[in-house]
Structure 1
Amino acid sequence: MKTLAVTSLLLLLLFAGESLCAPPAADYLIIGGGTAGLVLANRLSSNPSVTVTVIEPGGDERRNPNVSGTDKFSQAFNTPIDWNYTTVPQPRANNRSLTLHQGKAWGGTSTINGMTYIRGDARVFDVWEGLGNLGWSWKDLFPYFLKAENYTIPTATQVAAGTTYRQGNHGFSGLLRVGYTSALRNGSFAPLIMGTWEDMGLGKNGDLNAGDVRGYGMGPQTLGRADSEEVRWDAARGYYHPIEGRENLKMVRGTVRRVLWREDGGGSGKGRLLVAKGVEFVNGEGVVERMEATREVIVSAGGVRSPLVLEASGIGNPRILDLLGIETRVNLPGVGENLGGQSVHIMVLSGEMESSASAYHTYVTAADLFGDSLDKVKNATRKSLPDWARTMADVSKGALSAQALEEQFRLQYELIFQHNVSVAEVITVSAPGGILASNYYVVLPFSRGSVHLGDLDKIDRPVIDPSIFSSDFDITVTTAIGRVVQKFWLSGRIRPLVTGQLTPDVGVLPENATDAQWLAHFRQSLDMAAHPRGSAAMMRRELGGVVDPELRVYGTANVRVVDASVIPMPISGHMSATVYAVAERGADIIKRTSYGGHP
């Protein structure tokens, strides 16, 4: 009878989905094998005396042509390696739900993005220190941009086609290949593009990665040659494949449900820090397992998923956690808030022009956009800051204070109107078949949204609300940059080669369109860029911060977040370049301040 009872108990536990294997352990458990997670895995496991395990729901996609192909951008969208998230209906987008593409693979979103490598304006990074992050200025991050990068100097042909660089701004021995496609050729497209921008008062940028992005240039990409073939250089190819044989490094297929805490690890009381002992995850077969961490748990699940892991672990806003039936272990209302999202827009035309093979990136300042009207926009923006802060604080249901948001908005206002950093970007291409196109968007939007768990057992279905266009400034700048794009194609030296405006139709958006027509077009057609950030922001706790300057989650002793979710402010570049630098610096910080002793 006793044997039968034991057998029954074992079967009961098995069918309940709990693994009966002895729990494995590692010094460092990394939640997420995306862009940042694989940088950390590489750097931390370089010391053979420590063990590192990465838990990642995606798989090895190195042989997937939609990943490796440098001309396959968007081909992986809506496939099994795309999380394909959906936002809640957006009131300022005609109540449409928007799609947010994020990579589900070794390498995360670096496997499906546009491969653009542009860091942004130096002054934007300097503001991070003003939010309480000593040691995170442009000067501090710049060495890590260089450490990550393995830059390929453009050929004479590529220079003739519009590429520019300054050697002192690049690294040449990093693990991330950065360069220009071999398909880039000099032809008639380059002088037309460059001449038209110059006619509009914008000059050529000597190096888009030098800390000042204003002007136009050919954006470098994360690509390189492997086995005589040009391929995408995602985080897996650069940071994981070369060292996947290390005995002290493991990749485990699974989705982390929550961080587990030591029973004697304290709580949310004054002066007491939670100590993580490991994680609970669902493996590739759907079985629940646990794994111990002897030193640290590092959350690197990205701008969407990292705050979800924290909430499921009891770290976040008690109002939200109570509704989910989760015990609050650390009262940290900023978790999931401060989400930065960008609306992206496109104009497509037909024309008689050769393919560009790569994209031109053009950045403009508020002064470029508004000219003589700049003071009017500047004054209106300054007066609106308190109203935007109160509105967004109300939307957060008290998670963020209006005072804290206004402080952040003031710093952003100073960047735009006192330091004249770029506020909008245009990406211009000429594709085969006579297709001409420009994507354009605001790079420093004031709008802030949120991402939260909707159900404890459905971490793959988060509640994402980017609150697109919740700031009037974002609408004003989008309209202004839209007019610049239309003028670019429909005036000057390019105009004779343009045969028609395809998207939007001229009936929707004529050349003399009113502000109301532009806004109606945006509401109906805007999409969301794959650049979520800020949802576990690195800034002072009273501002809504989630991690401190050492990337450690407030109220915990050995849990950190290292990915795009810690980036506290919008950046004027493209997200992946900064994520690599943040992860490289994060690895050094962890080595120096590791819980339980130095690695």
Structure 2
Amino acid sequence: MSTSTFDYIIVGAGSAGCVLANRLSADATKRVCLIEAGGSDKSLRVQVPAGILSLYGDRHFDYGYKSVPQPDLNGRCIPINRGRGLGGSSTINSMIYIRGHASDYDDWAALGCDGWSFESVLPVFKDLERNLVGQDPQFHGTEGELLVDRQRDPNPVSHTFVQAAVTQGLPENSDFNGAEQLGAGIYNVTQDRGTRFNSHRAFVEPVAERPNLVVVTHAETRRLILDGHRVTGLVITRRGHEETLTARGEVILSAGAIGSPALLLASGIGPGAALKAAGRDVVHDLPGVGQNLRDHIDGMITTRSSSRKTLGLSVPNLPAILASPLHYISRRKGMLTTNYVEAGGFACTKYADGRPDVQFHFVPGYRSHRGRIVEYGHGYAIHTCVLRPKSIGELRPYGPDGAFEIDNRFFQDDQDIRVLTEGIKIARSIFAQPEFDDLRGREMLPGSGVQTDDEIAEYLRREALTVFHPVGTCKMGVDDMAVVDPKGLKVTGIENLRVADASIMPTLIGGNTNAPSMMIGERAARAVLADRR
């Protein structure tokens, strides 16, 4: 770097951080630094949708966090995959474009977050979106940077799932971001002609030549530098050496629901008692940091099938597998275009409050009953998650050197396991429809011996995981546990510091969190620019 002084320093080149970097560097008089702990997103495994399976657990692309043992999940430590590299978690996600239910944002406004109702955030979503599907302009934009498209070549079995869900009683839904979320359909994705279109490609690559925008990769942010209660910069580690970056203006944390609170805690900003217990100095006692952790708890049904209509690794399917690169290169078609969770939808259990309370992610291939990334054979599977879990966890400091523990406390509230049990029953009902007759096979999980509510609940305690949507650990609001204010996402009691990512969500939205995180980045950028004026 020619100089280590910037007007704005953004920590984290993920879904929100890339939006911020684009918007704040548009003013050529302001010098902007975007810091990312990971590296490039140019790998074919990233760009080709089917490569997603190879990214999970790879330390080049995934932090690979794990929770502490979860008492209500039989003491298991739950994997928490988070993206590492340009694009953040939008580099390893399933590319599904979902905003959540309109009422989710109205809930935020009702909690005192003025200006965050659905009426307020919808124009921001539209401004970011370049919808290629021709969907209702009342809900979709066509001039933004983020490409939203149909999947290029969904597996026929994904359409079978949608048809079976309709027979079961769900409406077919071609736009989960339109007037109604309820129903089943093929998901729209953030792709460009069959390649992953993450936040880095959408918002940073087109402006990478701006001389005032500096993107620093392979740089671990260690701690904030404070002068009293005013942030003046931060310390990073790069190539084994510590460097100090100075901020003339502001530092904005966009490191995600794990990274942002962890950095605050490493800097002595957080619950005073917990910081002292970990052997850290307390710079600012802010009790909400790391609290309010929420995520979508998920249960799976997986079925073996002899049908080669489904995706699968088998000797009879070997010719199709070998031909798939040619199909992809020549026409952007074939099995390499799959994001694996091609179809899905939203349903209401008997516990729903008038809006869907479970979401389905259907896989037209066999998901291993042993937890393997790849399993020999064919089949199909469905993931079912609780959209608004009542169990709330925390991220807490562990020791004096910046380490932390993640405690989701999954199923601590019994209502979550009751909702998920009902969701599993709905998913099974879809699979029981005649559309699946020629695909039938053995249900490997939960298995035919698991039928009663108690048996399903026990299965979930043994096997449930998440769909990797952590939020809430630096929540915005007006109560004593709020970390940032709703107007500008400024950290309470600290000058020149904001947080802009999924960690600021006061409650978990009913859907995937990538698009909402970009919306949060846009809102933060507008707040910074408004304050500048």
Question: Same fold judged by TM-score > 0.5?
Answer: yes
User: In the aligned structure 1, how far is the partner of 2:490 from the partner of 2:402?
Assistant: 26
Unpaired runs of 5+ residues, structure 2, are 312-337, 367-376
Read off the aligned partner of 1:329 and give its amino acid letter.
V
Find the counterpart in structure 1 of residue 185 from structure 2: 217
User: In the aligned structure 1, how far is the partner of 2:402 from the partner of 2:485?
Assistant: 28
* CA deviation after TM superposition for structure 1 residue 495, in Å: 3.4
User: In the aligned structure 2, how far is the partner of 1:93 from the partner of 1:39?
Assistant: 37
Find the counterpart in structure 1 of residue 222 from structure 2: 257
User: In the aligned structure 2, how far is the partner of 1:328 from the partner of 1:131?
Assistant: 29
User: In the aligned structure 2, how far is the partner of 1:564 from the partner of 1:443?
Assistant: 15
User: In the aligned structure 2, how far is the partner of 1:425 from the partner of 1:73?
Assistant: 21
Q: 1:22 to 1:324 in 2, by over 3 A?
A: farther
Deviations 1:459-503 (A, max 9, x none): 4xx300010001111010100010111121124442353122123
Q: 1:209 to 1:260 in 2, by over 3 A?
A: same
Read off the aligned partner of 1:174 and give its amino acid letter.
G
Read off the aligned partner of 1:182 and give its amino acid letter.
R
User: In the aligned structure 1, how far is the partner of 2:435 from the partner of 2:22?
Assistant: 50
Q: Specify which of 419, 425, 429 is matched with residue 487 of structure 1.
A: 429
Residues 157, 364 of structure 2: 8 Å contact kept = no
Read off the aligned partner of 2:127 and give its amino acid letter.
K
Read off the aligned partner of 2:207 and give its amino acid letter.
I
Residues 141, 582 of structure 1: 8 Å contact kept = no
Deviations 1:507-526 (A, max 9, x none): 4x2xxx11221111111111
Residues 158, 342 of structure 2: 8 Å contact kept = no
Residues 189, 353 of structure 1: 8 Å contact kept = no
Q: Specify which of 436, 457, 465 is matched with residue 380 of structure 2.
A: 436
Read off the aligned partner of 1:559 and give its amino acid letter.
L
Find the counterpart in structure 2 of residue 546 from structure 1: 483
Q: Specify which of 266, 276, 282 is matched with residue 312 of structure 1.
A: 266
* CA deviation after TM superposition for structure 1 residue 206, in Å: 4.5
Residues 339, 451 of structure 1: 8 Å contact kept = yes
Find the counterpart in structure 2 of residue 449 from structure 1: 393
* CA deviation after TM superposition for structure 1 residue 428, in Å: 1.7
What does 1:461-480 align with in structure 2 at a 5 Å threshold?
462-480=404-422
User: In the aligned structure 1, how far is the partner of 2:417 from the partner of 2:223?
Assistant: 39
Residues 120, 211 of structure 1: 8 Å contact kept = no
Residues 166, 184 of structure 2: 8 Å contact kept = no
Find the counterpart in structure 1 of residue 32 from structure 2: 52
Find the counterpart in structure 1 of residue 167 from structure 2: 199
User: In the aligned structure 2, how far is the partner of 1:188 from the partner of 1:293?
Assistant: 53
Q: Specify which of 364, 367, 376 is matched with residue 347 of structure 2.
A: 364
Q: 1:189 to 1:175 in 2, by over 3 A?
A: closer
Q: 1:110 to 1:126 in 2, by over 3 A?
A: same
Deviations 1:191-250 (A, max 9, x none): x4333222222111242112531111211111113xxxx310011111111211211011
Going by fraction, where is helix more abundant, 1 or 2?
A: 1
Secondary structure of 1:238's aligned partner: helix
Find the counterpart in structure 1 of residue 44 from structure 2: 65
What does 1:88-127 align with in structure 2 at a 5 Å threshold?
88-127=68-107
Matched, 1:241 2:205: yes
Find the counterpart in structure 2 of residue 208 from structure 1: 176
Matched, 1:593 2:531: yes
Q: Specify which of 6, 12, 15 is matched with residue 32 of structure 1.
A: 12
Read off the aligned partner of 2:5 and give its amino acid letter.
A
Deviations 1:366-403 (A, max 9, x none): xxx22xxxxxx5xxxxxxxxxxxxxxxxxxxxxxxxxx
What does 1:178-577 align with in structure 2 at a 5 Å threshold?
178-184=148-154, 190=159, 192-210=160-178, 212-225=180-193, 230-253=194-217, 254-262=219-227, 265=228, 274-283=229-238, 285-351=239-305, 352=307, 354-355=309-310, 357=338, 359-365=342-348, 369-370=349-350, 416-417=352-353, 420-431=354-365, 434-459=378-403, 462-507=404-449, 509=450, 513-542=451-480, 544-549=481-486, 550-577=488-515
User: In the aligned structure 1, how far is the partner of 2:183 from the partner of 2:248?
Assistant: 49
* CA deviation after TM superposition for structure 1 residue 528, in Å: 2.2
Unpaired runs of 5+ residues, structure 1, are 1-20, 155-164, 266-273, 371-376, 378-415
User: In the aligned structure 2, how far is the partner of 1:88 from the partner of 1:463?
Assistant: 7
User: In the aligned structure 1, how far is the partner of 2:248 from the partner of 2:524?
Assistant: 19
Residues 117, 220 of structure 1: 8 Å contact kept = yes
User: In the aligned structure 2, how far is the partner of 1:521 from the partner of 1:193?
Assistant: 24
Find the counterpart in structure 1 of residue 317 from structure 2: none
Secondary structure of 1:71's aligned partner: helix
* CA deviation after TM superposition for structure 1 residue 189, in Å: 5.6
Residues 541, 554 of structure 1: 8 Å contact kept = no
Read off the aligned partner of 1:437 and give its amino acid letter.
A
**Normalization by structure 1: what TM-score?**
0.79
Residues 150, 177 of structure 1: 8 Å contact kept = yes
Task: Kindly name which structure, 1 or 2, has the bigger radius of gyration based on alpha carbons.
Answer: 1
* CA deviation after TM superposition for structure 1 residue 176, in Å: 1.3
Q: Work out the number of aligned pairs and report it.
A: 491
